[in-house]
Amino acid sequence: FLYEDGEFYFIEMNTRLQVEHPVTEMITGIDLVREQIRVASGEGLSCTQDQVHLHGHAIECRINAEDPETFAPSPGLVKNYVAPGGMHVRVDSGLYTGYRVPPYYDSMIGKLIVYGSNRDSCIRRLKRALEEFVVEGMKTTVPLHQKLVRDEDFLSGNYTIKWLEQWLERGRDDAN
């Protein structure tokens, strides 16, 4: 929204769930898809706004079939797929060994979502889950995420909206 002269103006509205909705589900314990289905079938929501409470910390990584250095699409045959698991680890994906990732669509092949009681425990769980994540047969962004979660600025929370762009540029400069 836009705030100007004491007035709020909507500049965009999405009538669909955002890709990041599992983060909200993890920290509230509310299944947003179930709530949408309830409303669509004429029922009310199962809770009130006052009953919504935030707990802990959640992080989502979009796993794309892309070269982690250039972000060029990397379609191909999935030769081996092993999703991470464990408590508070969620993977939303339709991927399986033998699946052929086509070049025609969005390159996102999955979402890894983890939860922790605080940011540090969430990051520890994310590191482990990323180490367990196996997609063979094409390049993915898993190695990029593995590097990001080891970066000191990320770990300390010392970043801005431009941080990733600058981090990627530094990596390219270091490689040359």
The model's pTM: 0.87
- Are both 35 and 113 inside the same structural domain? no
Give long-range contacts, CB 8 A cutoff, 24+ apart: 143-147: 143/68, 144/68, 145/61, 145/63, 145/112, 147/171
- Domain of residue 3, residue span: 1-54
- pLDDT, position 176: 45
Catalytic-role residue among 16, 62, 128, 170: 16
Is 88 a member of any domain? yes
- Are both 64 and 124 inside the same structural domain? yes
Q: What average pLDDT does range 101-116 have in this prediction?
A: 96
pLDDT grade, residue 175 (50/70/90)? low
Query: DSSP string of 110-140?
Result: EEEEEEESSHHHHHHHHHHHHHH-EEESS--
Structure confidence by residue, pLDDT tens digits, 11-20: 777 777 888 8
Is 169 a member of any domain? no
pLDDT grade, residue 174 (50/70/90)? low
Structure confidence by residue, pLDDT tens digits, 113-167: 999 999 999 999 999 999 999 999 999 999 999 999 999 999 999 988 899 999 9
Task: Tell me if residue 119 is catalytic.
Answer: no
